[in-house]
Amino acid sequence: MKILNIFISIIFLISSSSLYANNLLLKSTYSDIDNINFFIDENDYLDFIRSNLFDQPEFRYAVSLSSEQEYNLKYAKRNRFPTISGSIINDESIERNIKDNQSVRKRRDDSFDANLEIRQPLYAGGSINSLIRSAKNKAENSSLKKQQVISELILEANKLYLLRAGMSYVSNYADNLLALLQPYKEKVNNRVSAGIVDPVESALFFVKYNQLETLVYQLKSSAEKSERNYFLFFNDESIQSAFPKIEINTSNINIEKKSYKLETSELSYLEKKEEIVSVRSEFLPKFGISARYTKYDIDDDSNEDDIRGGLYFSTPIFNFGRGAAKINAAKAAADGQKSAIDVQKKNDGIEESRILSDLNNSLLNREIYLKSFNNTSEQRKTIESRIELSGFSANALAEVVLNEISQLDNLINNESYIIQGYLMALHQNQQLNKFFKLDIN
């Protein structure tokens, strides 16, 4: 495990140094794409995401579970208090068949009494304190899961928002390029008929044009799907999603902080340890004090009553090994949960390395994708402006248009990967809620 932690730390240092170097040169996300002019700044974007989290059913469910554990904790604490109970005992003789007139059973012993009893446990084998500690761990765990749910909802909201914005933009961009290319269909047919253009060249053009049409339909379908998912989550009627300008500050990423899953595993281990104490208490002595007030014959307005009190004590003597078996089972469950912590540490290390690696690659690819798209866009504009003077290369124009759409899609997706990767890194180390200025406890 130590070797794994050292390996992860080395990867993080390498990744973080590369991330930091890129961070110095990185402008706000999407800001370098000249064609985009519809933005939302970081604070407004964070406000928009925040405002749509608390109405989600996942959060309401997490809140209800957290409330349940808070009440369970109150219940566990109140087990320290005495128990007060009352009872009415009506014991009437309905029929007697006793022949011996001298028998003591000849006397009637009817009763209609009222009891009021108070019992205060002094020692219960440690079960009360154990239940309180276990309830505290469960309450902390449910509170932590509530924080985790909010953090996961932020990731989901961000993904749906960026997907809708990106798909809508790329789809509209592709549709405009298809409209730009559409007039050349008739021109190509006319030139083939006039013998100016080779039919093979014409066939290649129409193959690429059909590819472009298919691509546009696919993009529109994906855009409609992302829009439906967006509306289901946000219930927002806005026509278009603005692209968020987010500053990527890698200094917020703290690999030393535990993940939600790891901290949950540790709290679960503490619960399992308390279960050992609770199970053991079932087979230990119990004692306390009690007092009872009895009012006799309440149906006869009797003035007879009494008050009794004293110690109560009970202890198991022999249970044929059931106690040892149950205690050993609780110990085995705790040992298993302890191993689960080590498994989660390993998984966290792998997940952190993957997230940081993906984020670093997205940052490195940013300039490459932007340069490729800008170059291809300029080539398309050059071919478009000179198409009539350069032998009417409609086939070349269609090829460039296809490449331009593909590169724009890569560029937009990469920008969203940067934001999502950054937020995932913050989520992995319980920093995302703080970044969104959320404190729900």
Coil vs helix vs strand at 86: strand
Burial 113-131 (b: 16+ CB within 10 A, else e): bbeebeeebeebbebbbbb
What is d(CA 57, CA 257) in angstroms, rounded to the nearest whole number? 28
Q: How far is CA 202 from CA 178, 330, 384, 419, in A?
A: 17, 77, 17, 43
Q: Which domains does the chain have, with CATH numbers?
A: 2-89+129-286+332-435 (1.20.1600.10)
Structure-block tokens of residue 21: 């170097």
DSSP 32: T
Bigger pLDDT: 206 or 5? 206
Residue of 69, 76, 68, 73 lying closest to 128 (CA atoms): 76
**Which string of b and e fits 92-107 if b means at least 16 CB within 10 Å?**
eeeeeeeeeeeeeeee
> Residue 337 pLDDT > 50, yes or no?
yes
**More confident site: 7 or 393:** 393
The residue-averaged pLDDT of 25-34 equals 76
Length of the chain, in residues: 441
Q: pLDDT confidence of 297, banded at 50, 70, 90?
A: confident
pLDDT at residue 112, as a whole number: 80
Rounded distance, CA 81 to CA 257, Å?
A: 39
What does DSSP say about strands 39-40 and 83-91: parallel, antiparallel, or unpaired?
unpaired
* Phi, psi angle pair for 147, to nearest 5°: -65, -40
Structure token pair of residue 208? 């690429």
Does residue 183 register a pLDDT over 50?
yes
Least trusted range by pLDDT, from 119-128, 157-166, 185-194, 432-441: 185-194
The conformation of residue 87, written as its DSSP 8-state character, comes to E
3-state SS string over 296-333?
CCHHHCCCCEEEEEEEEEECCCCCCCHHHHHHHHHHHH
pLDDT confidence of residue 139: 94
Q: pTM higher than 0.95, yes or no?
A: no
Span of 152-156, 302-306, 313-317 with lowest mean pLDDT: 302-306
Answer whether residue 74 shows pLDDT above 50: yes
- Helix ranges (H only) for 255-308 are 260-281
Which helix (H) or strand (E) is 286 found in, with range?
strand 286-295
Q: How many helices (H) and strands (E) does the chain have?
A: 10, 6
DSSP letters spanning 343-392: HHHHHHHHHHHHHHHHHHHHHHHHHHHHHHHHHHHHHHHHHHHHTTTTT-
Is residue 244 over pLDDT 90? yes
- 262 or 198, greater pLDDT: 262
* First-to-last C-alpha distance (Å) of the chain: 33
Q: What percent of the chain is predicted at pLDDT more than 70?
A: 86
What does the pLDDT look like over 388-431, one tens digit per residue? 665 557 888 899 999 999 999 999 999 999 999 999 999 999 99
Q: DSSP string of 97-148?
A: ----TT-GGGS---EEEEEEEEEEEEE-TTHHHHHHHHHHHHHHHHHHHHHH
Q: Tell me the one-letter amino acid at 415.
A: E
Rounded Cα–Cα distance for residues 39 and 351 (Å): 32
Q: Is the pLDDT of residue 98 over 50?
A: yes
The model's pLDDT over 36-73, given as tens digits with 9 standing for 90+, comes to 888 999 999 999 999 999 999 999 999 999 999 999 99
How far, in Å, CA of 435 to CA of 293, rounded? 61
> Average pLDDT, whole number, for the chain?
85
Helix 322-386, helix 2-25: angle, nearest 10: 30
pLDDT band with cut points at 50, 70 and 90 for residue 166: very high
Long-range CB pairs of 44-51 (<8 Å, 24+ gap) are 45/244, 45/245, 45/246, 46/435, 46/436, 46/437, 48/161, 49/154, 49/157, 49/158, 49/161, 49/436, 50/436, 50/437, 50/438
Q: How far apart are CA 220 and CA 112, in angstroms?
A: 83
Amino acid at 385: S
Packing angle, helices 127-181 and 394-428, rounded to 10: 170
Among the ranges given (4-18, 285-299, 339-353, 403-417), the one the predictor scored with the smallest mean pLDDT: 4-18
Gap between the Cα atoms of 358 and 341, Å rounded: 26
Say if residues 246 and 42 touch (Cβ distance below 8 Å): yes
In angstroms, the Cα distances linking 160 to 61, 226, 234, 244, 403 are: 21, 7, 9, 13, 26
Q: Which amino acid is at 273?
A: K
Looking at residue 249, the DSSP 8-state letter turns out to be: -
Q: In the prediction, which pLDDT does 203 show?
A: 79
